[in-house]
Amino acid sequence: MTAGMPARRLLPRGVREFLTALPFLLPSMLLFGVFVFYPLGKSVYLGFFISNPFRTRQIFVGFDQYRDVLTSSDFISSLLVTATFTLYTVVPAIAIGTFLAVISNQKLPGIVIFRTIFSSTLAASVAISAVLWLVLLHPSIGVLNDGFDAVGLSRVNWLEDGGWAIGERATPWDMFTAWFIDPNWALISVSLATGWMNIGLFTVILLAGLQTIDEELYESARIDGAGRWSEFWHITLPMLSPTLFFASVVGTIFAFQAFGQIQILTQGGPVDASNVLLYSIYTTGFEAPFRVGAASVQALGLFVIMLVLTFGQFRLMSGRVFYR
Amino acid sequence: MEIQDREFFVLLGPSGCGKTTALRLAAGLEEANEGGIYIGERRVNEVAAKDRDLAMVFQSYALYPHMSVYDNIAFGLRMRKHSKDEIDKLVRDAAATLGIDELLKRKPGQLSGGQRQRVALGRAIVRRPQAFLMDEPLSNLDSKMRVQMRAELVRLHRELGATFIYVTHDQVEAMTMGSRIAVLDAGRLQQVGSPQEVYDRPTNLFVASFIGSPAMNLLEAEPAQVAAQDNSKKAGARAGGVDVRLPAGLANQLKESGASSLMLGIRPEHLGLNVTEPAATFDGQVDLVESLGNEQHVTLSLQRASVIARLSTTERIEHGSSLQLSVAPEHVQLFNAATKERIGP
């Protein structure tokens, strides 16, 4: 019997349990509060104001700024660019990552060397990867165009040709048709670099996913009469679906968070052709004329989109992905 | 090793003896470095697994976890491009045979061990292959289920009239189910025969000690002249100072073999308290009495060795008491200690 016992009994059971849980929750509540919830609230607040660069003076405009920013053609254009960028960086990278994971999952001598090579882009920092691709893609002194010259192909205006995205009224249909007439080489260039970085990560996680598949399933399928392709289609792919789903979610989040490679390669240009949403938030808020309120609104827009997208992905995939 | 058509053939051996490898060679999952594998008259070394017309049941069942029971069973037929109606009929037939018609819509994850086992069997029987290969299919079941499935497999074998090749390390499964048993050790075939043959006349020391529980008593011995019933000296053996009379036929074969050191084998059930005209009698002290209810296993320590006897529980035997156990001449088995081979018929 301790002296504290009677006092504790005075409190209802639920409250007592909450008080016990509190010290365990406090550290993460503190972290989330300082770095997530406070900035989130502050962004909502800032969205209501138009201010001068250092916010020494600000004018309350209410929801007007939300309406203006979220319906502006700049915002819509950067959304389109972001969506295209996501498509370009996730789908091919997953396809290539799956291919590399499958071939490096074979039991061959020295396969570890190939696994290391295939996953090495995971270890390269964004800045280094971006500079590497700058050297490759530079329109006038890049290695790739020199190579094109050597084999008689016409040079491509990597990084600098905005294609369809020049002009703020590009519709999705414009984007689609322009792909074949006037591709947005700037965005493709940035996507190449980003996709290349993703391949390493996707190869690693897909390889890990492949290795959890029981070898006997393949043996059983072989006796059942399945060929290589059927094995891949009926065993590998369904068994890998949770990993593929995970890779697609991570890839999408990465695409929405891409910043460094865009800053180094194109700075969002030319004329917003590679201006993804995150980069647009940065230029709006931290470059003259420092429109912090508008940037906050864009950030909130990004937040809501991510929320919807992630929920949507889980909803869409929940029925099709097989979890053991 | 030759397996007859429609036979229930069991590959038996301790783990690592090569029995699973033998099965996988037959299935086409491993490639043979040398030697030929034939199914009927056809050499199949270069034939792909899917074209050998075999079905395999894996130890882990290897059910496709993302497919329903129906799809699991239908998979092999779909790969072989059967028509939809045909597949449906065959799958339902197979499910009915195994009593799993109610489970067709479930996923393997929702099934018990015994049910999964049946699905794995269903996947095999639905294709009506020439032969079934089974790799320790019962080892993941609890003991009650195992006994039930044992009977079911025997019934299935009879109904299908197909060849079964069954791998196990469990001698009870081998003895109860097999029409013939092949005992393997360290990658080598030790003996092939009916369960009774293998039990009664093991060809070497490995088979003798591997089959039977409790294991056969093996005592070091050497050839010797021993006193016969009429006190004349006859050819026999001596094990740890105990004279062992041998039947005339066995004594001759011992002489012919020229073996100088022997192992004497006696099954625990052949050691008894009251044996008329015994070949040998062992005096010793009771070391351990394990009662199983219907019988008791008595460990008797001799001067240099110990023997286990399987006795009826009607005899009250005290721990630590001294006891005499005898064996009849026809139950004495001899092995050449140097070559480890059996001497005698």
Is the pLDDT at B137 greater than 60? The verdict is yes
Other Cβ atoms within 10 Å of B153 Cβ, number: 23
Give the per-residue pLDDT at A164: 58
DSSP 8-state assignment for residue A319: T
Whether residue B1 is contained in a domain is answered as no
Q: How far is CA B73 from CA A22, A220, B89, B178, B259, in A?
A: 53, 12, 12, 26, 57
Does B294 share its domain with B145? no
Whether residue B304 is contained in a domain is answered as yes
Q: How far is CA B133 from CA B36, B69, B137, B163, B247, in A?
A: 18, 20, 10, 9, 43
Q: Which of B179, B210, B241 is the last residue of a domain?
A: B210
Whether residue B3 is contained in a domain is answered as no
DSSP 8-state assignment for residue B294: S
**Chain-chain contact of B76 with A224 (C-beta, under 8 angstroms):** yes
The residue-averaged pLDDT of A205-229 equals: 89
**pLDDT band, residue A8 (cuts 50/70/90):** low
Does B132 share its domain with B196? yes
Is the pLDDT at B157 greater than 80? The verdict is yes
Whether residue B2 is contained in a domain is answered as no
In DSSP terms, B50 is beta-bridged to: none
On whether the CB atoms of residues A85 and A191 are closer than 8 A, the answer is: yes
**Chain-chain contact of A226 with B50 (C-beta, under 8 angstroms):** yes
The interface predicted TM-score (ipTM) is 0.77
Is the pLDDT at A97 greater than 90? The verdict is yes
Taking only the tens place, the pLDDT of each residue in B59-102 is 888 899 889 999 999 998 988 888 899 899 999 988 888 888 88
Nearest CB partner across the interface for B60, out of A214, A221, A322: A214
**Chain-chain contact of A216 with B123 (C-beta, under 8 angstroms):** no
Other Cβ atoms within 10 Å of A177 Cβ, number: 12
Does B296 share its domain with B152? no
Does B198 share its domain with B226? no
Phi, psi for A2 (deg, rounded to 5): -110, 165
**pLDDT band, residue B310 (cuts 50/70/90):** very high
Taking only the tens place, the pLDDT of each residue in A295-307 is 899 999 999 988 8
Chain A contacts of B119, Cβ < 8 Å? none
Q: Which of A5-9, A28-32, A77-81, B48-52 has the highest mean pLDDT?
A: A28-32
Whether residue B112 is contained in a domain is answered as yes
Nearest CB partner across the interface for B75, out of A224, A239, A322: A224
Average pLDDT, chain A: 82
Cα–Cα nearest to B332, from B280, B283, B297, B277: B280
Does B42 share its domain with B176? yes
Does B237 share its domain with B332? yes
The residue-averaged pLDDT of B235-251 equals: 86
CATH number for the domain that contains residue B297: 2.40.50.140
**pLDDT band, residue A5 (cuts 50/70/90):** low
Does B206 share its domain with B248? no
Phi, psi for B282 (deg, rounded to 5): -105, 125
Give the per-residue pLDDT at A196: 92
**Chain-chain contact of A225 with B80 (C-beta, under 8 angstroms):** yes
**pLDDT band, residue A174 (cuts 50/70/90):** low
On the CB side of B299, CA atoms within 13 Å amount to 9
More confident residue, B199 or A182: B199
Q: Which of B46-50, B52-56, B263-267, B272-276 has the highest mean pLDDT?
A: B263-267
By mean pLDDT, which of A55-69, A223-237, B175-189, B329-343 is the weakest?
Answer: A55-69
Chain B contacts of A224, Cβ < 8 Å? 50, 75-76, 79, 123, 127
Is the pLDDT at B139 greater than 90? The verdict is no
**pLDDT band, residue A165 (cuts 50/70/90):** low
Q: Which of B210, B241, B268 is the last residue of a domain?
A: B210
Average pLDDT, chain B: 88
Whether residue B171 is contained in a domain is answered as yes
Most B CBs within 10 Å: which of A216, A223, A245, as the mutation test of the B interface?
A223
Min CA distance, A218 vs chain B (Å)?
9
DSSP 8-state assignment for residue B333: E
By mean pLDDT, which of A136-140, A242-246, B6-10 is the weakest?
Answer: A136-140
**pLDDT band, residue B183 (cuts 50/70/90):** very high
Is the pLDDT at A158 greater than 80? The verdict is no
Does B174 share its domain with B306? no
Q: Does A221 lie at the interface with B, CB-CB under 8 angstroms? A: yes
Does B198 share its domain with B252? no
By mean pLDDT, which of A14-23, A64-73, B145-154 is the weakest?
Answer: A64-73
Cα–Cα nearest to B62, from B98, B93, B108: B108
Give the per-residue pLDDT at A182: 62
Cα–Cα nearest to B174, from B129, B203, B213: B213
Is the pLDDT at B337 greater than 80? The verdict is yes
By mean pLDDT, which of A265-269, A300-304, B229-233 is the weakest?
Answer: B229-233
Q: Does A64 lie at the interface with B, CB-CB under 8 angstroms? A: no
Q: Which of B161, B191, B210 is the last residue of a domain?
A: B210
DSSP string, B214-230: SPPEEEEEEEEEEE-TT
Give the per-residue pLDDT at A78: 85
**Chain-chain contact of A322 with B58 (C-beta, under 8 angstroms):** no
Element housing A64 (H / E)? helix A64-71
Does B196 share its domain with B222? no
Other Cβ atoms within 10 Å of A271 Cβ, number: 14
Q: Alpha-carbon distance A79 to A172, whole Å?
A: 11
Give the per-residue pLDDT at A203: 92
Nearest CB partner across the interface for A222, out of B50, B60, B65: B50
Q: Give contacts of B 69-88 with A, CB under 8 A.
A: 75-76, 79-80
Tokens of B115: 């049910």
**pLDDT band, residue A1 (cuts 50/70/90):** very low
DSSP 8-state assignment for residue A12: -
Chain B contacts of A214, Cβ < 8 Å? 60, 62
Taking only the tens place, the pLDDT of each residue in B316-327 is 888 888 889 999
Give the per-residue pLDDT at A204: 92
Whether residue B245 is contained in a domain is answered as yes
Nearest CB partner across the interface for B62, out of A214, A226, A239: A214
Q: Does A239 lie at the interface with B, CB-CB under 8 angstroms? A: yes
Q: SS3 of B70, please?
A: helix
Give the per-residue pLDDT at A28: 93
Give the per-residue pLDDT at B304: 82
CATH number for the domain that contains residue B117: 3.40.50.300
The helix-helix angle for B69-79 and B84-98 (nearest 10°) equals 130
**Domains of chain A (ranges, CATH numbers):** 71-318 (1.10.3720.10)
Place of tokens 């025969």: B193
Whether residue B118 is contained in a domain is answered as yes
Nearest CB partner across the interface for A217, out of B50, B56, B62: B62
Establish, for the pair of chains A and B, how many residue pairs have beta carbons separated by less than 8 Å.
62
More confident residue, A323 or A125: A125
**Chain-chain contact of B28 with A221 (C-beta, under 8 angstroms):** no
Q: SS3 of A57, please?
A: coil
On whether the CB atoms of residues B57 and B135 are closer than 8 A, the answer is: yes
More confident residue, A6 or B217: B217
Is the pLDDT at A228 greater than 80? The verdict is yes
Range of the domain at B54: 8-210
**pLDDT band, residue A201 (cuts 50/70/90):** very high
Does B204 share its domain with B222? no
Give the per-residue pLDDT at B166: 92
Q: What is the number of structural domains in chain B?
A: 2
**pLDDT band, residue A322 (cuts 50/70/90):** low
By mean pLDDT, which of A88-97, A153-162, B280-289 is the weakest?
Answer: A153-162
Query: Checking DSSP bridges between strand B54-57 and strand B131-135, what pairing results, if any?
Result: parallel
Give the per-residue pLDDT at B196: 93
Does B269 share its domain with B201? no
By mean pLDDT, which of A3-17, A92-106, B204-218, B301-315 is the weakest?
Answer: A3-17
